[in-house]
Amino acid sequence: MVDVKEIVNVNYKMFKECPYDILNQFELKRYPKGYIICHQDHVYEYFYVIAEGLVNIYRISEEGKKYSQAIYQKGDYFGELEVFSNKPYVCSVEAITEAKVLRISRHHFLRWVELDKNFLLYLINTLCDSFYRLSKKAGEDTLYPLKYRICNFILRSVGHKSLGNKHVEIPFDRERLSEQFVATTRSINRILKQLKEKDIIDIKNKSIIVKDLEGLKREEDIL
């Protein structure tokens, strides 16, 4: 049995009014880096919440191309759409670090939705946010060139880290970017090289160091 306090601490907004008997139904599963937690087109009887680590939500096209939709972290959840409808997973879910994941059966998940108004509202709000981001990204992928999308990705990753900092370091992975933008690593490397030559960024191992935030914003505006 998983400690109730440990569950609530994973995502207080989600679990704060969860009935005690529902909390006691959660299992904690541990997965090594690279483990496929859920496979695309398979049916699973669980709702999942990430307790620790990072997971990649991705889809494989008929041509075998891997397309990353999102990276989820502690407090994020997955499997809600499939467990509601009892349909196969649209995407695969892979642990890209060692991960701990809470899971609860479909039967108890549906009881939780029925009993906990706070959880139902939390699901609605977060699902709306998720669909909004996906719709926006789909539009950007169609309308904007790769350079804009890479600059935009870096700016979003910087976020509030830029406050009071001259240089900001963010983690990145060329392979993940290739999956996310459905572009070759060669194309991504070419754009990163251009930004580096303009002294806007620097690249060290698996990090991008933003040296000129205003310059990066100007590059984003050049379509």
User: For the residues of 30-41, what is the DSSP string, one character each?
Assistant: EE-TT-EEE-TT
pLDDT at 74: 94
pLDDT at 12: 95
Query: Edge-to-edge strand order for the sheet containing 27-31?
Result: 27-31, 99-105, 46-52, 77-78
Task: Please tell me if the domain spanning 4-136 has the same topology as the one spanning 144-221.
Answer: yes
DSSP three-state, residue 78: strand
Instruction: Map tokens 């310059």 to a residue.
Output: 215
DSSP three-state, residue 206: coil
pLDDT at 143: 74
CATH 3.40.50.300 fits 144-221, yes or no: no
Kindly give the confidence (pLDDT) of every residue in the chain, 223 residues in length, as a single tens digit, with 9 standing for 90 and above.
788 899 999 999 999 999 999 999 999 999 999 999 999 999 999 999 999 999 999 998 888 888 888 889 999 999 999 999 889 999 999 999 999 999 999 999 999 999 999 999 999 999 998 888 777 776 667 778 888 888 888 888 887 665 556 788 888 888 878 877 878 888 989 999 999 999 999 998 888 999 998 899 888 776 5
pLDDT at 110: 96
Topology (CATH level 3) of domain 4-136:
Jelly Rolls (2.60.120)
Domain spans in the chain, listed from the N-terminal domain onward: 4-136, 144-221
Contact yes or no for 171/206 (Cβ under 8 A):
yes
The DSSP code for 159 is G
Task: Report pTM.
Answer: 0.74
Give the residue among 32, 55, 51 at the shortest CA–CA distance from 100.
51
| Residue 89 in tokens | 């997973």
